[in-house]
Amino acid sequence: MTSKLNILVQSLAELQDSLGNQEELGRFLDQFGMKYPRVIAIGNQSSGKSSILESIVGKTFLPCGPDMVTKCPLFVRLRQTKDQEMAVFAAEEKYGIERKEIFNFSLMEKEIIRRTEKRVGITRNISHEPIHIDIYSLRFPD
């Protein structure tokens, strides 16, 4: 059974790659009555949402602070690698941002803030446009 599950997970990852992002994969699977597995953290400000997600990933990388800092959705996909751990931020043509690879996870927070500010500036506004991040680790199942 495990090998069949691995084949399914790998196939979904390849399908997502070909479609471009998680949203497109979700729409594609909806046509067949299937749902793509997701973890969604919802709660009051400073209630531990970021801590839960960082525990799943196993890295500290999300912006935290006394005020609202996560002002747009983050779509994070975990991927297995046999090489170096890294995070890959998708290119965002609309904002003039190129694809970016980050090998030092302590720099991810700065990149998330930069991309958020491109969407909403330094205001308290929010955006519904997600930031897409692929995180590669030796620890994640394939």
Tell me the two tokens of residue 66. 């006394």
Residue 70 has pLDDT above 60, yes or no: yes
pLDDT of the residue at 123: 83
Cβ atoms within 10 Å of 127's Cβ, excluding its own? 14
C-alpha–C-alpha distance, residues 24 and 8, integer Å: 18
82 confidence band (pLDDT: 50, 70, 90)? confident
What is 47-86 written as a DSSP string? SSHHHHHHHHHTS--S---SS----S-EEEEEEE-SS--E
**pTM for the structure as a whole:** 0.74
pLDDT in tens, 1-52: 456 766 766 776 676 666 666 667 677 777 777 666 677 888 887 788 888 8
Confidence (pLDDT) at 103:
96
Question: What is the share, in percent, of the chain residues with pLDDT greater than 70?
Answer: 80
Q: Provide φ and ψ at 140, rounded to 5°.
A: -80, 140
